[in-house]
Structure 1
Amino acid sequence: MSDASLPGLAEAARRDLPQILDDLRRLVEKETPSSDKRLLDAGLEDIEAWAVERLGAPAERVRRDGGVHGDVLEMLYPGDGGGEVLLLCHYDTVWPEGTLEEWPVGIDGDRFSGPGCFDMKAGIVQGVWAVKSLRDAGLPLPSIRFLFNGDEEIGSPASNPHIEHAGRAADVTLVLEPSREGMVKTGRKGMGLFDVTATGIESHAGLDPQAGASAVHALAELVPRMAALAAPERGTTVNVGVFSGGTARNVVAGKASCQVDVRIQDPEEPARVDAGLAALAPSDGRVKVEVSGGWNRPPMNPGPATDRAFGLAREVAAGLGEDLGQISVGGASDGNLVAALGRPVLDGLGAAGAGPHSRDEHVSIGRTPHQVALLAGLLTRLSEG
C-alpha cells in the first residue's frame, strides 16, 4: 500500500462521519448489559443485521450459545490479500437496563456520549467502517473474522474458548477496545478474582461474647495480610473492594466475606499469590476461612511478533501525520487470552475518548475518522503479509 492512500482513507472517513455517528447511535440505543440475556440477544441480532447492511452477508457465520451469558457471533469476510486478521469486539456493557432513560445519547461539541459508547460500541462501528472503506477504495484486505461476544465485562466465561480458538487461527488479533489517549495498548495486566469467606460462631455480644467467634473480626485481621501480597516492584496489586458480614450490632458475627481483585504483570506471580491466599488463617482457630474464585485472565506482555505488528501500525499512523504511541495498562481484556497463546495482539484500536465505566464516558467525534483510517491502513498493510 502506498502512503498516498492513507490521506484518502482519512478523508473518506471524514466524509462518512455523519453515517458513522448514526450507526453508533443505533448500537448505543440498544442496551446490552452483561447480566441481561434478553437484551443481549436483541442487541446482537441488531449488530448482525447492521453489519450485513454495511458489508453484505459473510462467507461464514456462526452463532454460539452463551448459556445465561451473551452469545458469541463470528462473521468471516474473505479478503483479496493474504492472511487472516481477527477483530475482537464485545457488545456487552456495564450499564443496567433503563440507563438510557436518564442518560440518553447526546452530542455536545466534540463529545458523543451514551452508555457503552466508548467501551466499546464505537470500536465495533469503527471496525466495520474500516473494512467498508477499504472495499470502497479498492485497497487489498486480509480475510477478516469479526468475533462479537457479550460477556467481556464479566470475564468472558462463555466466550473464552471461542476467543482462544479464533486467536490461534489468526495471523494477528486486533482488539477494538478504546484507545488510551490515542495510544495502542500492547501490554495489559492479568487478573485474579477471589472471594474470601470466614465462618465463625454466633453469640450474644453482651450476655455471652466469649462463646462466640467473630467472623468479621477474623476477616478484618486477614485483610492487611491480603494487601501485603501486593508487590508493586513486580507489577502486582491487591485490592479488597467489598467487605460484608454479620447480622446485627449485638450479635457476634457468624459469617463475613470479602471480594479481592489481584492484578499481575509477571506470569510467575499467580503461584506466589495463590500460596499466600491459601495460608490465610486467623488467630482465633474457631473461625474457618475459605478462598474461592481464581485467575480470570493471564497478563498480556508483548513479544517480537506484537512488536512487529505495532511497527506496522506506527508506520500507518506516520502516513496519517501522527506519531503513534504504545502503553501498558492495568485493565484486562479479551486480548489477554490470545496473547497468552503466544500470538501477536494489538489492543486499544477502537475509539478515542475517555470515561469508561463512568457517566463521563464519551467518544471524541473529531478523532473518529483518524481512528477508522488508522485501522483500515493497518488492515491493508497486514494483507501484504
Structure 2
Amino acid sequence: MDHPRALLDAAKRLRAEMVDRLGTLVAAESAPGSLPHLDACADLLAGWGEEALGRPARRVVVDGLPHLLWPATHQRVLLLGHFDTVFPVGTIRSRPFTVRKDIATGPGVCDMKAGIVQMFTALRLLDDTSTVGVLLTCDEETGSVTSRPLIEREARRSGAVLVCEAATPDGQVKVARKGGSVYHLTVRGRAAHAGVEPQRGINATVEVAHQILTLRALGAADSAGTSVTPTLLSAGTTTNTVPERASLAVDVRAWTTAELERVDRAIHALAPFLPEATLVVEGRINRHPMSPELARPLLELVQRIAGQLGIPAPAGAHAAGASDGNFTAAVGVPTLDGLGAVGGGAHAQDEYVDLDRMPERTALLAGLVDRLSTMERVERRSVVETP
C-alpha cells in the first residue's frame, strides 16, 4: 500500500455506484429459507464476486441452501459475510430501498447488504486478490446450521478472518461478541372443553407460562449480562378448548462459555409444573463467545491503516449480538468483526446505513486486506473446542 490515500480517493469516486448496487441488492429479497429468492440473490452476488476477484464462485449447496465461496489456494485472509435477512418476502413492497440525503433505509440494508457491497468494492481496489478468500452464506440469521462446517473449514485455512457485518452506529469495529444458544420447548397436556369440563384438561398454556417465569429467573440471577429471553410462542387450537400443546423458543446470550453452560444445564433440567404435563427441551450452545484477545492485533493494524488514510481510527466495541465471527474465533483464528457499513437498527423497520461513510469504510477494508495479504500469519491459538 504505497499510497494509502489513493484508496480513499478511489473509493470516493465509486460512492454513487455503491449506492446503486446497494439498492439493487436490497431489492433482491433474501428471506430465511426462501430458496427461489436466495438462489436469485446468490446469482447476483456471484457475478459481482467474479468481477471483483477475477475467479468464479463455488456454489456450495447444503439442504438446498446456496452458499457462495471464492477460495484462495494460499489463503491469508478470509472475508466473511451473509446475504440472508430476517425479513419475509414482500417486505420490500411496503418498505422499499430509500435514500434521504446521506441515509439509506430498507430491509437488510445494514445487516448486512451494505457490508457486502463495500466488500466487493474494496476488492476491486486491490491489484492482487490471489491470497484472499470470500465466503457469503445464506443461513446466518437462522443459526448457520448448514454453513457452520464450511465457515470453520475456511477459517482454519486462513491467517485471519475479517467479518463484514455492520459497525456500531458511531463506526466502532467489533472485537468481542456474546455467545448464544437457542432452545425449543414443547409442552404436551390434554385437551378438554374449556367451558363444560376444563378440569379434565391439562392446560399446556398454563404450563408454558410457568416455564417462562422460570426462564426469566435464569437470566436475572446473573449480574454479568446474561440474557434468557422467551421469544416465539404458540399454543392452543380454538378459544373453547383447553390447549393440548404449546411450544416456546428461547434465546440465550452470555459473555462467557461458563455462563452459557450454566444456563444450558438449567434449561435441560427443567421439569413440568402441572401433574401429567410433559416437557421436551431441544437445543444447545450454538455460538461460543468471541474473545477480544484474538482481535487485538487486527484492531491495532486497522487503527494504523486508518491513520495512513487520514480517517478517524475506529475503537473496538463489545457487541451483545452474535455473528459467524464467533465460529471463526472459537477455532483459534484471529478475527475482527464490524468491518462493514456504519449504520444501525438491524432487524427493525428503521434499519439504516450512513452512505457518506461507505467510501472510508471501503478504503479501510481494502487497506487491511492489502496488508494482511502480504503478512505472515497473525498470532493464533485454540480458544474453544467447538462441539
Fold-level similarity (TM above 0.5): yes
Give the corresponding residue for 1:156.
144
Structure 1: how far apart are the matches of 2:281 and 2:316? 36
CA 1:206–1:128: 2 relative to 1, 3 Å: closer
- 1:77 CA displacement: 5.5
Give the corresponding residue for 2:380.
none
Structure 2: how far apart are the matches of 1:92 and 1:206? 46
- 1:67 CA displacement: 1.8
CA 1:289–1:11: 2 relative to 1, 3 Å: same
Asked if the contact 2:190–2:201 (Cα under 8 Å) also holds between the matched residues in 1, the reply is yes
Give the corresponding residue for 2:197.
208
Give the corresponding residue for 2:115.
123
CA 1:202–1:356: 2 relative to 1, 3 Å: same
Structure 1: how far apart are the matches of 2:196 and 2:355? 66
Q: Which moved more, 1:113-122 or 1:372-381?
A: 113-122
Asked if the contact 1:85–1:142 (Cα under 8 Å) also holds between the matched residues in 2, the reply is no
Give the corresponding residue for 1:7.
5
Corresponding residue to 2:164 among 156, 173, 176: 176
1:253 aligns with 2:248: no
Q: Which moved more, 1:169-178 or 1:306-315?
A: 306-315
Give the corresponding residue for 1:333.
323
CA 1:183–1:232: 2 relative to 1, 3 Å: farther
- 1:141 CA displacement: 5.7
Give the corresponding residue for 2:102.
110
Q: Structure 1 stretches of 5 or more lacking a match?
A: none
Give the corresponding residue for 1:26.
24
1:280 aligns with 2:276: no
SS in 2 for 1:96: coil
SS in 2 for 1:367: helix
Asked if the contact 1:174–1:347 (Cα under 8 Å) also holds between the matched residues in 2, the reply is yes
- 1:29 CA displacement: 2.3
Q: Structure 2 stretches of 5 or more lacking a match?
A: 376-387
- 1:45 CA displacement: 1.2
Give the corresponding residue for 1:379.
369
Asked if the contact 2:92–2:107 (Cα under 8 Å) also holds between the matched residues in 1, the reply is yes
Asked if the contact 2:215–2:228 (Cα under 8 Å) also holds between the matched residues in 1, the reply is yes
CA 1:54–1:86: 2 relative to 1, 3 Å: closer
Structure 1: how far apart are the matches of 2:239 and 2:186? 20
Corresponding residue to 2:61 among 59, 65, 79: 65
CA 1:131–1:207: 2 relative to 1, 3 Å: closer
Q: Which moved more, 1:143-152 or 1:6-15?
A: 6-15
Q: What does 1:261-300 correspond to in 2, within 5 Å?
A: 261-300=251-290
1:75 aligns with 2:75: no
Structure 1: how far apart are the matches of 2:122 and 2:235? 51
Corresponding residue to 1:89 among 70, 81, 96: 81
- 1:282 CA displacement: 3.2
Deviations 1:98-128 (Å, cap 9, x if unpaired)? 2222222222100122222211111111111
Identity of aligned residues (%): 38
Asked if the contact 1:234–1:266 (Cα under 8 Å) also holds between the matched residues in 2, the reply is no
1:241 aligns with 2:239: no
Structure 1: how far apart are the matches of 2:113 and 2:244? 45
**TM-score, normalised by the number of residues in structure 1:** 0.91
Asked if the contact 2:110–2:353 (Cα under 8 Å) also holds between the matched residues in 1, the reply is yes
Structure 2: how far apart are the matches of 1:365 and 1:379? 22
Give the corresponding residue for 2:379.
none
Question: Aligned pairs, how many?
Answer: 372
Asked if the contact 1:318–1:324 (Cα under 8 Å) also holds between the matched residues in 2, the reply is no
1:145 aligns with 2:133: yes
Structure 2: how far apart are the matches of 1:39 and 1:143? 31
Structure 2: how far apart are the matches of 1:77 and 1:338? 17
- 1:78 CA displacement: 6.9
Deviations 1:232-272 (Å, cap 9, x if unpaired)? 42331101123332234443322222211111211122332
SS in 1 for 2:62: coil
CA 1:283–1:353: 2 relative to 1, 3 Å: closer
Structure 2: how far apart are the matches of 1:251 and 1:316? 65
